[in-house]
Amino acid sequence: MRIYILSGGKYTEVKTSPTFPLVIVKQIPKFIIQAKKDGQMSTIRAFRTWVRGLENHHE
């Protein structure tokens, strides 16, 4: 998975989303794989818990 931002008329790949700065892009695919294995609802709960942990860590 890759995220790009448009800056100065050119797209540049970034490691974090400007919309979700705490989320590291390379960690997202593991949740996609987990959803296929464990189901969407279980994975959404795990993702939310993970994001809350990031938020608490950065406060």
pLDDT digits 0-9 by tens, 25-54 = 888 888 899 999 999 999 999 989 988 888
DSSP H helical ranges for 1-59: 28-38, 40-57
Q: Please count the structural domains in the chain.
A: 1
More confident residue, 11 or 22: 11
> 59 falls in which pLDDT band (50, 70, 90)?
low
Spatial CB neighbours of 44, under 8 Å, sequence gap ≥ 6: 35
More confident residue, 22 or 45: 45
Domain containing 9 equals 3-57
